[in-house]
Amino acid sequence: MELVFLCPAVKKAVGGVKVIYRQAALMNELLGPSGGRACVLHPNTWRFKVQWFESHVPLRRERFKWRWVGKPSKSDIRGVFDPARDVVVVPELWVRKYGVQLLEAKVPYVIYVQNGYYINKGQPDDLDRAYRGAKCILTISEDATRCVAMAFPGVQERILRVHYSIDVGNFNPHRAKENLITYMPRKLADHSAKALFFLRSHLPAHWKIQPIDGLNESGVAELLSRSRIFMSFSHFEGCPLPPLEAALSGNRVVGYTGQGAREYWHPDVFDEIESGNLVSLAQQVLRRVADWDANPGETAPAPATLNKLSATYSVHQEEADMRALLRRLAD
């Protein structure tokens, strides 16, 4: 078997791409002893390579043909995949392009839903056929599972909930903290800009705010290890990585859940703010700043909760999920 993970060729840091690479590498290790392999395929690229994290997963290079359906694109996969050997993992955003094609070509495929709010992209009839014809539907969170079950009645038995893992060697609360607040400006940039404006006249001079932008994985981990508060601006996300990485790095997280983060949003680590309520977000950040100033020796919040989160989103759990996928594919 060759398990082929289709993946967008995105240069900027996107958590979903890191998850695909990580799980493709894990599946490659699991398939190796039986003579199979897993790989990542960035369609229509020959030299693209992700630069912002390190990975040794095999890359497969393929060019697709032009397809004149809807918006013209190089998405015609005829002759690319072998139904007897290949199993293709399709991200939810590309089901509209490749789902029905794989079904009609009798190529086994898995749909990977990392964001339940992207599954409406495409013609409803084509999406229905594709989801009902999938060998398995992976979902990254409880929220994504609910979205798929609601949108496509009758596919519940095909759904397999999986978890990503957080590298607790990089993201952990055991380093010296500074009076630093971090956030990711690419997430609802207008919201973060307004939040900074509201904070500008109230934040004590010995506190600083620093965006996390243009850094590789190590740089993100290093900055989160130094900050005390992380502002979350997640918007309609499957199971957002940054707030969880920030929490496991010892930050108090203040902001939006993006819906998908509700499953890990424990109040002893996370402060939920209604999306768009930026005055409340700024006020809560200032309360947390006051808490730190009143107790400067305080360590990371709620170690028991952090231990539980690190176990839920662990390499062990991720591997168990990937083994469950292998069993599904063997049926």
pLDDT beyond 80 at 43: yes
Q: pTM for the whole thing?
A: 0.94
Confidence of residue 303 (pLDDT cuts 50, 70, 90): confident
Confidence of residue 300 (pLDDT cuts 50, 70, 90): low
Do the domains at 2-165+314-330 and 180-312 have one common CATH topology? Answer: yes
In this prediction, residue 282 carries a pLDDT of: 98
In this prediction, residue 74 carries a pLDDT of: 86
Pick the CATH number of 2-165+314-330 from 3.40.50.2000, 3.40.1010.10, 1.10.260.40, 3.50.50.60: 3.40.50.2000
Backbone angles phi, psi at 126, to 5 degrees: -65, -40
Q: Find the mean pLDDT for residues 78-88.
A: 96
Domain ranges of the chain: 2-165+314-330, 180-312
Strand partners, 6: 41
Q: Find the mean pLDDT for residues 98-103.
A: 97
User: In residues, how long is the chain?
Assistant: 331
300 vs 240, higher pLDDT? 240
Confidence of residue 305 (pLDDT cuts 50, 70, 90): very high
Rounded Cα distance, 30 and 25, in Å? 9
Task: Please state, rounded to an integer, the average pLDDT across all residues of the chain.
Answer: 94
Confidence of residue 67 (pLDDT cuts 50, 70, 90): confident
> Residues 229-286: pLDDT tens digits?
999 999 999 999 999 999 999 999 999 999 999 999 999 999 999 999 999 999 999 9
> For the chain, what percent of residues have pLDDT higher than 70?
98
pLDDT beyond 80 at 140: yes
pLDDT beyond 80 at 299: no
Rounded Cα distance, 172 and 248, in Å? 5
| Dihedral class, residue 157 (left if φ above 0, else alpha if ψ from -120 to 50, else beta) | alpha
- Cβ(70)–Cβ(92) below 8 Å: no
Q: Find the mean pLDDT for residues 127-148.
A: 98
pLDDT beyond 80 at 307: yes
pLDDT beyond 80 at 311: yes
User: Which of 176, 198, 165, 161 lies closest to 273 in space, CA to CA?
Assistant: 198
pLDDT beyond 80 at 102: yes
Q: Find the mean pLDDT for residues 111-132.
A: 97
Q: Find the mean pLDDT for residues 135-141.
A: 98
In this prediction, residue 269 carries a pLDDT of: 96
In this prediction, residue 174 carries a pLDDT of: 78
pLDDT beyond 70 at 99: yes
pLDDT beyond 80 at 68: no
Q: Find the mean pLDDT for residues 56-64.
A: 94
Angle made by CA atoms 113, 118, 124, in degrees to the nearest 5 = 100
Confidence of residue 175 (pLDDT cuts 50, 70, 90): confident
303 vs 174, higher pLDDT? 303
pLDDT beyond 90 at 92: yes
Backbone angles phi, psi at 153, to 5 degrees: -55, 140
Q: State which fold the 180-312 domain adopts.
A: Rossmann fold (3.40.50)
Residue in this structure with the two tokens 């952990």, named with its chain if needed: 172
